[in-house]
Amino acid sequence: MAQVLEFKLPDLGEGLTEAEIVRWLVQVGDVVAVDQPVVEVETAKAMVEVPCPYGGVVTARFGEEGTELPVGAPLLTVAVGASASGDTAEEGSGNVLVGYGTGAPAARRRRVRPEAPVRAAEPAGATAGTARPAAARTAPALAAPERPDGPVPVISPLVRRLARDNGLDLRTLHGSGPEGLILRADVERALREAPQGTAPAVGVPAPHASSVTAPQAALPAPVASPPADGLGTRIPLRGVRGAVADKLSRSRREIPDATCWVDADATELMEARRAMNASGGPKISLLALLARICTAALARFPELNSTVDTDAREVVRLDRVDLGFAAQTDRGLVVPVVRDAHSRNAESLSAEFARLTEAARTGRLTPGQLTGGTFTLNNYGVFGVDGSTPIINHPEAAMLGVGRIVPKPWVHEGGLAVRQVVQLSLTFDHRVCDGGTAGGFLRYVADCVEQPAVLLRTL
């Protein structure tokens, strides 16, 4: 006798209390294995897959794509104890860890994902009566449609979502990434090259082929809606934008911040980077050199690598530098964290920045990779601006901002010359230090930018 178990949205950790359903990975009637991902959700920090701790037949799903659910709300129900073919179904693993599987033995895990455009979700509260015929349920769950050369090679949820929203079948593409991996650029190129009228405009979902034979659930309503008074447009603050709003508002409420800035001649730093990259080996990024300068400066001015315990009325100086860096993505601004940045050299920092930036761009950052920073480096120069007054990433004590590096007239060795100039700004918590310490930190950073050899004293 099969037993129907309810799987609820698990506690996502990191203070997250809700998540939005991005894409269902299973249909009612599918056979699922223990720890198989069943739904892709977007939290305020990351896009993650939620694995189901039970093995059996999906009998109901709750919530359509685009619906936001609180932690503890039902996600789906699974009939365990007997499969559709009469065989014994798998037991539950009893534990759920979002984005990492549920801790079941490796031999019982299966991570197979569909890559064809997904069908619309069943209405909330769908039951086993709406399941597909039993013959369809006997097939393994989530088998990816095959191309002539195998399954669709795509791993990015953002790439899949872009293709789905524009009615593009990923099975028709050949990726330009490693081993034929389909990248966002491949999807965008296919949309640009599509004959007029064969692909919908970006952002307008196309009807799926299954819509002619099966009823479709309504697509999520647009996030923006006209207000009752007819003035402007109301856009809900949720997801990443809501989390950013909450955090920055708290920073402004709690932290008495101040900002100081200085212009620096970055010509020598740029030349040093060119020389390093010309010598062979892995390329060193400018961000990595700036990060290396930051960690050296924090070793001299540890007050800025701290946090304030307001309840105990204490400043807590931290003994390690977990360096956050601002990264702009399609989902908004995120701040991935490089762990133990103080113990890394420029090469290691370059590799870690590249890894985390790619994960941010493809929506694969986990909540743990977006929290726990002790100091933030914000390179807003990539947006073509010279200066800014950054808002501190609460509960940190400071943030270094770096503007664009551009040729400017500069007095160099007693004469006027065109040099590569950058503006550096430091926003700091005035509770942890005074202007002398903040100015000393910023001046040391500027000295290292102007004369990279200064860093040799700390190596």
Same domain, 121 and 247: no
Q: What is the DSSP letter of 22?
A: E
Band (16; pLDDT cuts 50, 70, 90): low
Mean pLDDT of 195-211: 39
pLDDT, tens digit (0-9, with 9 covering 90-100), for 49-58:
888 988 899 9
Kindly report, residue by residue over 321-330, the tens digit of the pLDDT.
999 998 887 7
pLDDT in tens, 373-429: 999 999 999 889 999 988 999 999 999 999 999 999 999 999 999 999 999 999 999
Nearest to 85 by CA among 144, 7, 29: 29
For position 112, which CATH number holds? 2.40.50.100
pLDDT at 208 over 60: no
Task: Give yes or no: residues 168 and 288 share one domain.
Answer: no
Q: What is the pLDDT of residue 131?
A: 39
Do 260 and 408 share a domain, yes or no? yes
Amino acid at 151: P
Residue 394: active-site member = no
How many independent structural domains does the chain possess?
3
235 has which bridge partners? none
pLDDT band for 448, please (50, 70, 90 cuts). Answer: very high
pTM for the model: 0.57
> Where is average pLDDT lowest: 78-92, 252-266, 333-347, 443-457?
78-92
**Residue 172 covered by a domain:** yes
Range name among 130-134, 307-311, 435-439 with the lowest pLDDT average = 130-134
**Pair (72, 176) in one structural domain:** no
Residue spans of beta strands (DSSP E) within 291-340: 306-309, 314-317, 323-325, 327-329, 332-334, 337-338
What is the percent of the chain where pLDDT is above 90?
43
CA 402/CA 382 separation, integer angstroms: 9
Q: Is the peptide bond before 407 cis (omega within 30 degrees of 0)?
A: no
**Residues 220 and 66 sit within 8 Å (Cβ to Cβ):** yes
Q: Closest Cα partner for 34 from 134, 131, 101, 132?
A: 101
Q: How confident is the model at residue 350 (pLDDT cuts 50, 70, 90)?
A: very high
**CA distances from residue 248 to 180, 224, 303, 324, 428 in whole angstroms, order as listed:** 41, 22, 22, 15, 14
Residues 322 and 186 in one domain: no
Whether the CB-CB separation of 163 and 205 falls below 8 Å is answered with: no
Give, as one character, the DSSP assignment of residue 21: E
pLDDT value at residue 25 = 92
Do 311 and 435 fall within a single domain? yes
Position 196 pLDDT exceeds 80: no
Q: Name the domain boundary from 180, 214, 248.
A: 214
**CATH number of the domain within which 372 lies:** 3.30.559.10
Share of the chain above pLDDT 70, in %: 72
Which residue segment(s) compose the domain that 77 sits in? Answer: 3-144
Comparison of pLDDT for 83 and 429, the residue scoring more: 429
Per annotation, catalytic residue among 208, 412, 430, 447: 430
pLDDT for 156: 58
Instruction: With CA atoms as reference, report the closest residue to 61 among 98, 25, 28, 18.
Output: 28
Does 85 or 40 have the greater pLDDT score?
Answer: 40
pLDDT at 133: 38
Give the CA diameter of the chain: 90
228 domain-assigned: no
Return the pLDDT at 323. Answer: 97
Residues 125-132 have a mean pLDDT of 38
Choose among 256, 252, 307: nearest CA to 430. Answer: 256
What is the Cα 7 distance to its own chain's centre? 25
Other CB atoms within a 10 A radius of the CB of residue 282 amount to 13
Residue 62: what residue type? F
- Is residue 139 located within the same domain as residue 158? no
When computed from its CA atoms, the radius of gyration of the chain, rounded to whole angstroms, is 26
Q: Let me know whether 140 and 159 are in one domain.
A: no
- Quick check: is 357 in a domain? yes
Domain end marker among 144, 167, 195:
144
Confidence of residue 48 (pLDDT cuts 50, 70, 90): confident
Question: What's the angle, vertex CA 333, arms to CA 330 and CA 339, rounded to 5?
Answer: 115
Comparing CA positions, the residue from 82, 55, 57 lying closest to residue 1 is: 82
For residue range 27-44, what is the model confidence (pLDDT) as tens digits?
A: 998 999 888 889 988 776
Q: Please indicate, yes or no, whether residues 277 and 336 belong to a single structural domain of this protein.
A: yes
**385-399 b/e with 16+ CB inside 10 Å = b?**
ebbbebbbbbbbbbb
Mean pLDDT across the chain: 77
pLDDT, position 285: 94
Helices (H) and strands (E) in the chain, counts: 8, 21
**Residue 394: what are its φ and ψ, rounded to 5°?**
-50, 135
pLDDT tens-digit map of 210-223? 333 333 333 344 44
**Exposed/middle/buried for residue 110 (C-beta within 10 Å: 0-12, 13-18, 19+):** middle
197 pLDDT band (50/70/90 cuts)?
very low
CATH code of the domain covering residue 182: 4.10.320.10
On whether residue 232 sits in a domain, the answer given is no
Residues, the chain = 459
Query: Average pLDDT, stretch 233-259?
Result: 86
| β-sheet bridge partners, residue 58 | 78
Q: For residues 422 and 372, state if they share a domain.
A: yes
341 and 450 fall within a common domain: yes
102 pLDDT exceeds 90?
no
Residue 246 lies in a domain: yes
- Nearest-angstrom CA–CA distance, 3 and 41: 26
Token readout for 7 is 């799987």
> Sorting pLDDT into bands at 50, 70 and 90, what band is 334?
confident
To the query of whether residue 342 is one of the catalytic residues in this protein, the response is no
Whether 170 maps to a domain, the answer reads yes
C-alpha–C-alpha distance, residues 424 and 409, integer Å: 17
Q: Are 377 and 290 contacting, i.e. CB atoms less than 8 angstroms apart?
A: yes
Residue 130 lies in a domain: yes
Tell me the pLDDT tens digit for each residue of 245-255. Answer: 888 899 999 99
Is residue 233 a part of any domain in this protein?
no
Where among 125, 144, 163 does a domain terminate?
144
**pLDDT, mean of residues 79-96:** 52
Residue 71: per-residue pLDDT:
85
Which tens digit of pLDDT belongs to each residue from 155-193?
555 677 677 777 888 878 888 776 677 877 788 788 877
80 pLDDT tier (thresholds 50, 70, 90)? confident
Predicted confidence at residue 229, as pLDDT, reads 63
**One domain, residues 346 and 429:** yes
Which positions ≥6 away from 238 have C-beta within 8 Å?
A: 20, 44, 68
Rounded average pLDDT over 73-85: 75
Q: What is the pLDDT of residue 337?
A: 96
Does the structure show a pLDDT above 70 at 59? Answer: yes
**Beta bridge partner(s), residue 334:** 327
